[in-house]
Structure 1
Amino acid sequence: MSSNSSILSTKKLSTTQKELLLNSGIGFVEYNVIEIELLDVDFNQNIENAIFTSKNAVKALQNLEFEIQNCFCVGENTKKLLEGNGLKVSEIAQNASDLGEIISKNYKKEQFFFFCGNLRRDELPSILKENNVKLDEIVVYRTHKKSKKFDRTFNGILFFSPSAVQSYVSNNIIDNSMVFCIGNTTASEAKKYTNNIIVANKPTVENVIVQAVKYFDKRI
């Protein structure tokens, strides 16, 4: 068992997610390095095409009274949440760049609304702009960084968004810790601070944890 390994999760985990770590004997600390504030959205027009790269954007629109015909999203969890709200998902991609390429190739003449956070990444809007796809951006949530200084080092750190990386490094150094990232956009942010990076096979919290467990099990 990996009882000598310690991991920091940069977001609070559910009971079943914690069990994945506890069952492997890995010690862990959990802490929300960012907080999400859903904004009051004053928007009431029906939309043909909407883009969501995060579950937070979906949550911000859950109680609004307007219709969206087609949703384009990043990640299985975002897709599930959209479908759970009765919305039709026309396209899904593993990351924002891939989604931008799909839209530019197959939906170039359409108009899109991108529901996003205040710290949204540039990849998707840049790709659509380069391909002259009409895009309106609407900020529906804010990300607040809640950095905390740790007077210890961890064998592994779990990151679930680029802003989580930024928040953590504002008060800490990654040093020799192995970093586990939920996707490539999070990994590109982490690469500014370390080369010790493993990216999840699927963009889920569970898969990030599984990668960490596998890594530390091999090192015993």
Structure 2
Amino acid sequence: MHVLLLKEPRDGDSGPDPYIKELASHGHKATLIPVLSFKFVSLNTLSDKLFQPDKHGGLIFTSPRAVEAAKMCLEAEERREEWNNSIKEKWNAKSIYVVGKATAALVRNLGLNPLGEDTGTAEVLSRLILEREDTNILPLFFPCGSIKREVLPTALRENGVPLETLTVYQTAEHPDLEKNLKNFFKEQGTPASVAFFSPSGVKFCLEVVRRLSGDQLTQIKFAAIGPTTEEAMTAEGLCVSCAAQKPTAEHLAAAIAKALQHFPRCECFK
């Protein structure tokens, strides 16, 4: 069966996307359509912060894009040399918090040692941070996107853990999104399953998917990468057939494969 993945390709992966690969192992053909476009901002300020570890109590990365912004600050040879010779070890003496395996892998590529890759959500990560940190530390530094959720900053501030945020990328709808969706439905027909990977994906894609699916909408098994995305889907009246237990390719593919073994129409659309 055909599965539509509404996500960006994994950065730096020369092989097949892991979600496509995992779904293929379950006998399903998957197509990936990028939903978002990104513009990096404030990189000079980010660079200054990254090269002043003594002013912060640790780092927080909750998205691959934030790590990508950090990587861009290390592109100059002299900066990379300074990072490798001294700066990264100063950061590694502190806590480097992350959400998700993809973000953790990119953080390791910077030479940093991540904590929390199995947390899965900002809510769970915030609890881990509160267990480990106290109110006397220097501010944790959190480079983030323009449409980040406020769950983590709110939890830390309400508990007195100092935090400094910096917007390092802005998120917008991918300019070719509607065209790519129309081409997919024209060539492949209505997919058996559609997977969303973020609340932004729900916001930008859902109405187009509804329109293109027509009266076949209730036959689609809608999948969510995690609870935050599932909440956004439910809030829009979608019947969520499955959600990944953890935000990994293996868990999402297993959930979709299980959902596709059952074929009753979903009647819970508003």
* TM tier, smaller: 0.7 to 0.9
Instruction: Specify whether residues 219 and 168 from structure 1 end up closer, same or farther in structure 2 by C-alpha distance, changes over 3 A only.
Output: same
Structure 1 residue 58 corresponds to structure 2 residue 67: yes
Q: Aligned residue for 1:208?
A: 252
- Name the CA distance, whole Å, in 2 between partners of 1:23 and 1:123: 35
State how many pairs are aligned.
Answer: 216
Structure with more of its chain in strand, by fraction: 1
Structure with more of its chain in helix, by fraction: 2
> 1:125 is paired with a residue of what secondary structure?
helix
**C-alpha RMSD over aligned residues:** 2.6
Q: CA deviation at 1:191?
A: 1.5
- Name the CA distance, whole Å, in 1 between partners of 2:21 and 2:132: 42
Unmatched tracts of structure 1, length 5 or more: none
Unmatched tracts of structure 2, length 5 or more: 10-14, 74-78, 265-270
TM-score (normalizing by structure 1): 0.84
Instruction: Specify whether residues 197 and 122 from structure 1 end up closer, same or farther in structure 2 by C-alpha distance, changes over 3 A only.
Output: farther
Q: Aligned residue for 1:75?
A: 100
Structure 1 residue 140 corresponds to structure 2 residue 184: no
Deviates more, 1:19-28 or 1:191-200: 19-28
- Name the CA distance, whole Å, in 1 between partners of 2:115 and 2:8: 31
Q: Larger C-alpha radius of gyration, 1 or 2?
A: 2
Q: CA deviation at 1:95?
A: 0.9
Q: CA deviation at 1:170?
A: 4.4
- Identical pairs, percent: 25
Are the counterparts in 2 of residues 158 and 209 from structure 1 also a CA contact under 8 Å? no
Q: Aligned residue for 1:97?
A: 123
Are the counterparts in 2 of residues 52 and 74 from structure 1 also a CA contact under 8 Å? yes
Are the counterparts in 1 of residues 8 and 35 from structure 2 also a CA contact under 8 Å? no
- Structure 1 segment 1-220 matched on structure 2, within 5 A: 5-11=1-7, 15=16, 17=18, 18-22=20-24, 24-39=26-41, 41-43=43-45, 44-45=48-49, 46-47=52-53, 48-64=57-73, 65=79, 67=87, 68=91, 69-92=94-117, 93-109=119-135, 110=137, 111-146=139-174, 147-148=177-178, 150=182, 153-173=190-210, 175-176=217-218, 177-193=220-236, 194-219=238-263
